[in-house]
Amino acid sequence: MLYEYTLQTRKEDFTNITVKVKEAVGQSGIKDGICVVYCPHTTAGITINENADPDVVTDMLLGLEKAFPDRREFKHAEGNSTAHLKASFVGASQTVIVCEGGLLLGTWQGIYFCEFDGPRNRRFYVKVV
């Protein structure tokens, strides 16, 4: 089963998409399997991290900014090389085990769509097998 979702992002942010992914797993009817969450963009990605304290997302964005600063040496004409670097760092997808009809996530884990070059209209896919 393949599900497509769209979202409107801000300049740079993490959107918690856990509810959408759970919805896809529920609709699929699959009780035990694998769920892949995939981002088809080169300046956005998918990650799993803490869903309780919103400061974690703020700090992650700050940390990524420090780890991947804009550099004069970058040649990419579009001028968004830091966004490409951050997208590759977090990765384009996450895989979560489906067990007894639900996602096998830890108590504090949430699934996030990570925007690094917004605002844009984005989409992501959820495949449950």
**In the complex with Zn ion, which residue's Cβ is closer, 53 or 78?**
78
**80 near Zn ion (CB under 5 A):** yes
**70 near Zn ion (CB under 5 A):** no
Instruction: Rule CB under 5 A: choose which of 4, 78, 95, 99 binds Zn ion.
Output: 78
Q: How far is the CB of 9 from Zn ion (least distance, A)?
A: 16
d(CA 89, CA 23): 27
State phi, psi for 107 to the nearest 5 degrees. Answer: -50, -40
For the chain, state the CA radius of gyration.
Answer: 15
Q: For Zn ion, what does the binding mask look like between residues 23 and 62, x meaning CB under 5 A?
A: ----------------------------------------
Instruction: Name the residue whose CB lies closest to Zn ion.
Output: 78
Q: Where are the alpha helices (DSSP H) in the chain?
A: 18-28, 55-67, 81-90
**Residues near 21 by beta carbon (within 8 Å), at least 6 away in sequence:** 35, 37, 96, 103, 111, 126
**4 near Zn ion (CB under 5 A):** no
Please give the residue ranges that form the binding site for Zn ion (CB under 5 A): 78, 80
